[in-house]
Amino acid sequence: MNLPLIQRHVSVQEYLDGEQRSDVRHEYLAGQVHAMAGAGENHNRIAGNFFFHLRAATRGKACGVFINDMKLRIEHNDCFYYPDVLVTCDPQDTESFYKQFPCLVVELLSASTEAIDRREKLSAYRALPSMRHYLLVAQSQRHVEWHCRDAHDRWVLAVLEGTGVIDLACHGLQVRVSMDEVYEDVVW
Which burial class, exposed, middle or buried, applies to 164 when counting CB atoms under 10 A from its CB (0-12, 13-18, 19+)? middle
Q: What is the pLDDT of residue 62?
A: 92
* CATH number of the structural domain spanning residue 85: 3.90.1570.10
Note the pLDDT tens digit of each residue in 110-125.
998 899 999 999 999 9
What is the number of structural domains in the chain? 1
Stretch 34-56: mean pLDDT, rounded?
A: 94
d(CA 132, CA 105): 9
Q: What is the pLDDT of residues 8-22, one digit of tens each?
A: 899 999 999 999 999
* Mean per-residue pLDDT of the chain: 94
Q: How far apart are CA 158 and CA 6, in angstroms?
A: 42
pTM > 0.85: yes
Q: Burial, 99: exposed, middle or buried (Cβ in 10 Å; 0-12, 13-18, 19+)?
A: buried
Map residue 54 onto helix, strand or coil. helix
CB 33 within 8 A of CB 22: no
